[in-house]
Amino acid sequence: MIRKLVLPFYLKLLSVLLILICLGYIAVIGQTVLEPLLFALLVSTILLPLSKFFENRLNFPRSLACIIAILLFLLSIIFLFIILGSQLSKLSEDWPAFQQQLQDSIHDLQKWISANYGIKYKQQVTYINKAMSDSLGAGTSVLGQTILSISSTLLLFVFTLLYTFFLLYYRTHISIFFVRLFHENYKPVVLEVFRQIQFIVKKYMLGLFIQIVLVSGMAFTAYSLIGIKYAIMLALITGIFNIIPYIGIASSAILTCLITFATAPGSHVLLVIMAIIIIHLIDSNFIMPKVVGSKVQINSLIALLGLVIGELLWGISGMFLSIPVIAIIKIVFDRVQELNVWGYLLGEEDGSTKPKKLKIRLANAKKNKPQQDSNENSTIK
């Protein structure tokens, strides 16, 4: 007879902590491999229906179907860059006006500093020149870091496309591997996990796309009503940056305010800030919970912790990948009986369980009260 080994709670907790530490260490040292692989997992999930359409409906070979799906994905990205590039080319025509506006603003700022703090123009120029000379020393390193980041981004994009192709091409092979990895009795559970992961990732990415469209549409409407130039470009930037949690909307707001400041009166900047705040409130309270948040079913505390840990591990890429990764982990936890409690921790709080727990506690308290009274009476006697 096989006896089941039951570990004490502290050993289970220690095992979980050691596994988390090992996974974090592997994520740090394996970023070069894991980062494009996770991005490829998201992209391949989006392109899977398209690849299946070319393969099953049009009878294309699987390799050709995968290539066509990836090419269509590339064309959509190129089309987006063409729209942004056309707007940027128009923005370059206003560069002299931007410089003049900046010079006028600096001159007004110098006047204000001189009037309120008594610092003369020559002293201000001396301070600025000193700061510029100090920053020139770091200019070379900043330029080198910029070139390195651009090259690493291009490599990440290339490897993501390569991994996407192989994940689409070998999807059946990989699925059979995971099914055979576990006992035959667990085959339905493994297949259910695969279906749920594919469903969650697909819905999450579709939700992000809908979020980009809605936020960009609201931003374009607001910017057009305010009368800002390059409303299309700024609206697209606002919508795309918004998918980066917490810091994305702030970055797009700064960029939009700078361009508005250079091409419009100063009062328009305040209107832009108000419009972005309203858009962010609508997105946070209605679009994000209904369109994106409901797909992953992760509570806000775990989402915030995941974003912070993802940023510490992989930077902005980690912030973007943290939510779908946590959603996948939750699916696995929910299907494994020993890990159900961790899946409950990651998920949203079920408000319907609160009254039941309260009633149980009250009932237990009422039952225990007579026993306590009898015990007290016996001790008094």
Clarify whether residues 232 and 219 are in a common domain: yes
Task: Render pLDDT for 155-170 as a digit per residue (tens, 0 to 9).
Answer: 888 999 999 999 999 9
- Classify residue 32: in a domain, yes or no: yes
Clarify whether residues 29 and 79 are in a common domain: yes
Q: In the prediction, which pLDDT does 161 show?
A: 92
The C-alpha atoms of residue 252 and residue 230 are separated, in whole angstroms, by 14
Residue 347, strand partner residues? 298
Q: What angle do CA 238, 313, 43 make, to 5 degrees?
A: 55
- Classify residue 189: in a domain, yes or no: no
Clarify whether residues 284 and 219 are in a common domain: yes
* 3-state class (DSSP) for residue 347: strand
- Classify residue 2: in a domain, yes or no: no
What domain count does the chain have?
A: 3
Q: In the prediction, which pLDDT does 362 show?
A: 45
For the stretch 73-112, what's the b/e string if a residue is b when 16 or more beta carbons lie within 10 angstroms of its beta carbon?
Answer: beeeeeeeeeebeebeeebeeeeeebeebeeeeeeeebee
Task: Render pLDDT for 24-58 as a digit per residue (tens, 0 to 9).
Answer: 889 889 888 899 999 998 899 889 889 999 998 88
- Classify residue 116: in a domain, yes or no: no
- Classify residue 119: in a domain, yes or no: no
Contact 219, 254 (CB under 8 A): no
Clarify whether residues 175 and 311 are in a common domain: no
- Classify residue 141: in a domain, yes or no: no
Contact 97, 262 (CB under 8 A): yes
- Classify residue 249: in a domain, yes or no: yes
CA 31 and chain centroid, separation: 17
Clarify whether residues 29 and 171 are in a common domain: yes
Clarify whether residues 286 and 312 are in a common domain: no
- Classify residue 131: in a domain, yes or no: no
Residues of the chain with pLDDT below 70 are 1-7, 91-92, 94, 97, 101-102, 121, 124-125, 128-149, 245-246, 289-296, 350-381
Clarify whether residues 54 and 164 are in a common domain: yes
Clarify whether residues 66 and 169 are in a common domain: yes
Clarify whether residues 168 and 237 are in a common domain: no
Segments forming the whole domain that contains residue 59: 25-92+154-181
Q: In the prediction, which pLDDT does 380 show?
A: 40
Q: In the prediction, which pLDDT does 248 show?
A: 76
Clarify whether residues 229 and 267 are in a common domain: yes
Q: In the prediction, which pLDDT does 328 show?
A: 85
Clarify whether residues 302 and 345 are in a common domain: yes
Q: In the prediction, which pLDDT does 165 show?
A: 94
Identify the residue whose tokens are 């996974």: 23
Clarify whether residues 310 and 283 are in a common domain: no
Q: In the prediction, which pLDDT does 135 show?
A: 52
